A and B are shown apart, each in its own frame.
Chain A
Amino acid sequence: MNVLVLSGYGINCENETLHAFEVVGFKGKIVHINDLIQNPKQLNNYQVFAIPGGFSYGDDTGSGNAMAKKILTNLYDQLIDFSLKDKLIIGICNGCQILINLGLVPSLNKKDPEVAMIENKSGSYECRWVDVKVNNNKSPWLKNISILNLPVAHQEGQFMIPINLLKSIKANNLIGLQYINNHKKLAKGQFPFNPNGSKDDIAALTNQNGNILAMMPHPERAFYHYHVPNWQNSTSKKFGDGYKIFMNAKKFFA
């Protein structure tokens, strides 16, 4: 089991993302996008392709756009190939924004992005912990998970989805995660439970196959129990909720 963790041009969560994969049993490598463009064949050595969080190109021209355009120009066909095999792709935060801008999720029609990531309703950057629930979704990334407590940290985390598309996303069950309030009910857009004002409290989307997950919260930052706020009061002793996402990837190949 090998994971390729992408880096370069302002991506910045590659170390902790790789670490999370390694702890659950993957072997992995951080690969600079320029090296991957030089030698795209190396993708064959990996089962998981992870785009970590960060600030690729400083969010200029819209978060994730510039990096998505670089991939589109130089790596798109290889990535499509990868996604059509029995392999997994995950994009976290900036990685999520990149996957959305590439149109790899929800990918109900082809190539052009169908969804946009826009600025948080609050107008400001939000670094805070949220609760999300797994919608009835068949993605291997989300199997047997009900609720997760994870941090978000973004300026542009609002999923903007045209109404008709939202209908088919729901019909196809592609909503991965939704923000919930302190009563474990959908946040209904209420801040700070829904930190960015996303329609239908969407925090993650998948493709139809379920093997690609684009999520705004950071599972790698909720990996150990001491990552969780006020962990001193908690009884859980080893891992945080983010661990479950990485374990699911392992189970998929086990």
Chain B
Amino acid sequence: MTNTIQILSIEKTGKESSLQKEHNNKSIKIIDGYFFSRNLDDQKFTKISKLISNDVSQTILTKKNVNKVLSSYSNFNWVVEIKFLPGVTDNTATTVKEIIKDNLKSSFKSFELGSTKIILIKGRKEDITKISKNEANPLIQTIKIYPFKKYLKNFKKNQFKIEKVKLPKKKYSKKEINLDISDYHLSLIGKLGIEENDKSRRGTLGLDLESLKTIRNYFSTIKRKPTDVEIETLAQTWSEHCKHKIFSAKIDDIQEGIFKKYIKGATEKIIQLRKDNFCVSLFTDNAGGIEFNKDWIICHKVETHNTPSALDPFGGAITGIVGVNRDCLGFGKGAKPIANTYAYYLADPNKKYQLYRQKNKDPMLPANFIAKGIISGVRVGGNCSGIPTPQGNVYFDDRFAGKPLVFCGTVGIIPKKIKGKLSHKKKANPGDIILMAGGRVGKDGIHGATFSSEELDPNSPVSAVQIGDPITQKKMSDVIIRELRDENLYSSITDNGAGGLSSSIGEMAKESGGFIVNLEKVPLKYNGLYPWEIWVSESQERMTLAVPPANVKKVINRFNARGVEATIIGKFIKKEKAIVKYNKTEILNLDMEFLHEGYPKLNLKTSFPKIKKEKKKIIKKSSLIDKLHKLLSSPNIVSKEFIATQYDHEVQATSIIKPLQGEGRVFGNATAIKPLFDDEKSIALSQAAYPQYAETNPYDMAGCSIDTAYKNLIVSGANSKKIAILDNFCWCSSDEPDRLYQLKEAAKACYDYAVAYQTPFISGKDSMFNDFKGFDKTGKSVKISIPPTLLISSIGVVDKISHLTKMTPDEDDILLVLGNTRNELQDSVYSKIIGYEKAKNPVVNSKDALRTYRNFEKANKLGIINSAIGIDLGGIGIAVTKMAIASKKGLTIDLKLKNKISVDQFLFSETQSRILVSLKKNKLANFKKIFKGSDYTIIGKCTGSDVVEFKDNKKIIKGKILDFAKSYKQNIKGL
């Protein structure tokens, strides 16, 4: 009789060897443990153990063998036991339960089960404490450290315990909230949450005093008190996360707000100018859609998951990626996710920042723990979902120490018409059934939407963390995309993300009028949730569908046949009312108009900020080759191959331009997939952000982001008429006038450059308060704000396979730089690593840029360009060495300088809108014809040798490609 199954691997696992190496200790062993809530008799123990282990590679520990087996590895003396906290998603346990259910049927049921990681070590207690800190996150896991002797005793006496959710079994009675209280008490509700009967608070609502007064006024007109559920719902719906109040607010003299004027305004202007069918669905849906070919639409959406990733990097990132996958599933009638993108803005993983949320306690996770967790979260989310993740980048800066930025994007594809109806149109009709499909609801992520709108401070609720379960989502997604959608069995669909049901149903009901929901019908992970928790919970892997009554049975059966739960939880109605009931008691009854539009509009003022000048740094005297090595190996330029190889970018067999390019495997800045077997068109993807330029000039920063994201697609071979962009603003302290000034400037640049390039914004998102308020190790209070970061993601259509470019020149090719080079070294990688030179920040001249791009496009279509690479961080010098590394072919560069700039300025300036290309000699004449009147410089040729050489007037400086490759492929310290 026992209540645990514990399995260890006979040979050393990869995880064990990395732990052993990291801690310089050969006596470390990991056990996979499963703790059961009831005892297993010997027969069941044998049967279940066999089902969940492999006797070739693993040993099952029993009371009889435990001593002998473990002592054969080492003389262990300490144990760390890591379990998930009650209620945290435990994917392994779910799988084991399913295996048992399938095999033992009803002979073993009604049990709970938790998966556990047990690490054994021979060493000092300090060692195991250190290991436990690196291997577990106290926010989602319990960590127990005890002597090995106690472990053996626990084993023999069945004393391993599973963590169960313990919620008070109280009967729910409707709770009314008195808002006729002082301003002080009213603001407490907004800041700390609704007060429970025991005087404790539920956690922040993110409602300011004015919003609460607006709510009070509404209820005094309808002559009753609000219920707790109503206040919670309004807090979710009105959150910055859901309503983007700052982007829609009046700002200075811009009445309509910067979103309407600059972002949507740009797209509207472009549509008016272009008069084509390229833009299909913009801003209103979960993702933005454009035309791919005459039968298909593609959509793209990029989200951020910053705050959750600061608290639980793995959980935050996996939830970020599977969450944005659902945005595609919720585009129109449901698009199939076909590619993921990522961009991480992180603190230096090699530094110890030692920040605390409260004085001397509640430390921030270490920077390397955050970086590793984020990278693996997206890996597990993307790989397990069978969606390729080809496109991404990572950028490091100390100012992300308090909040990492985690951008996760997804591209989807959907037929234009389904059963003769436009697929991007959807409408929940009155009478349609509200169906919730996918996972169950628990306490996960309660208050996620309201809290991501707030700064990270000591009162941030820790329950605002979810862990994604990609397999549950994959099962659900397969049913929707492959079966239900194409039979037109539902009228509308949307995902459950921030705000959970309150948000998804609230949004969909705009299509029909209103809704009635019966909350007691919602399937729960465990009992004891209050109605308001069910209503706002952000448990993952759920879609909400509007299903005509006649199809409901069929839809539910189809889900169930694929192992997916689907439940009727209410219906859509014509009346413009939002109504929620719990066991027949009405707990919410609001006018739809007030729910969605009742929030007080902000009135923002900006002021010109003090410009933080780049700190002067003495130039280090070193040779050109040495400088190249320093730049190549710097974290923001060094290859990100280690991420590309752990993200499956080949699944779906669509990868056509891969993240690692050329024989020498250079990490490219654009990738392409070919999504349909029967059409040679591809989708090219890229992205760009320049937080390093933000403080100097936010307008130019935004211009550079748009230019780079656009240029990378032109360079990859995309059709310039089929490029769309997405904006993700991650800002800081957005209640301060100078930060708002920077925001307004950046948004203005968005308008100017998008209109100039005729590339529409199709979707966007913002996250306005990426600040950390806490304490350093001495207990001094600190505030760390991220630099304003605007990520521009670009998506474009490449018409023909032959238009796709490569970055590898051939021997005897001529090398040219397209575009003019100016001394724009300010805030460059060079000035950070090598030293400060008096210079300007990069400014995009859209006219010049467009001339270069149009000519490039023309030349490429004619087969004149042999290879090409966009010039960005590190300038021409880095672009040249990357070309040499990728092709493994030597280049010679003639340093003919124009515009009175120095060699270093020429090689390392980050002037925008430039492309390094190579041509076959015999194409030069044709090239010159096309580029007549356009800026370009012939800078050298491809020699095919093993060196890159730079010819100055007199001397020739050489560097070996192999050495450059070594610097470029260095490991990032701390990762």
Contact = CB atoms under 8 A, between A and B. Distances in A.
A80 interface: no
Interface stretch (A43-51, A57-65, A133-141): A57-65
Interface stretch (A83-91, A122-130, A201-209): A122-130
Contacts, number: 166
Interface string A221-232: 101001101101
B474 A123 contact: no
Nearest to B661: A230
Interface string B365-395: 0000000000000010001111000000000
B649 A73 contact: no
A99 to B, nearest CB: 14
A12 B474 contact: yes
Given A19-B677, A230-B663, A66 B98 contact: yes
Contacts of B662: 230
Interface in A205-241: 218, 220-221, 223, 226-227, 229-230, 232-233
Nearest to A56: B471
Given A34-B561, A66-B98, A127-B647, 7 more contacts: A12-B652, A16-B652, A32-B561, A58-B92, A118-B57, A125-B645, A160-B11
B102 A70 contact: yes
Contacts of B53: 61-62, 65
A140 B470 CA distance: 36
Contacts of B92: 58, 60-61
A116 B17 contact: no
B887 to A, nearest CB: 9
B350 interface: no
Interface residues of A, number: 60
B132 to A, nearest CB: 19
Contact of B95 (A16, A61, A122): A61
Contacts of A151: 650
A176 interface: no
B478 interface: yes
A13 interface: yes
B653 A220 contact: yes
B15 A119 contact: yes
A58 B656 CA distance: 27
Nearest to B866: A232
A122 B56 CA distance: 21
Contact of B103 (A73, A127, A218): A73
Nearest to A72: B103
B651 interface: yes
A233 B471 contact: no
A13 B651 contact: yes
Interface of A: 7-10, 12-13, 15-16, 19, 32, 34-35, 53-55, 57-62, 65-66, 69-70, 73-74, 101, 112-116, 118-128, 151, 153, 155, 160-162, 218, 220-221, 223, 226-227, 229-230, 232-233
B104 to A, nearest CB: 9
Contact of B56 (A9, A19, A160, A221): A160
A151 B653 CA distance: 10
B29 interface: no
27 contacts: A32-B561, A53-B651, A55-B384, A57-B98, A57-B471, A58-B469, A60-B96, A61-B96, A61-B99, A62-B54, A69-B99, A69-B102, A74-B102, A120-B14, A121-B14, A123-B15, A125-B645, A125-B648, A127-B647, A153-B648, A153-B651, A221-B655, A223-B653, A226-B801, A227-B653, A230-B808, A232-B806
A57 B563 CA distance: 12
B748 interface: no
A69 B51 contact: yes
A66 B661 CA distance: 37
B651 A119 contact: no
Nearest to A229: B658
Given A13-B386, A69-B103, A115 B56 contact: yes
Contacts of B54: 62, 65, 101, 113, 116
B646 interface: yes
A10 B562 contact: no
B653 A221 contact: yes
A61 B11 CA distance: 16
B625 to A, nearest CB: 27
Nearest to B96: A61
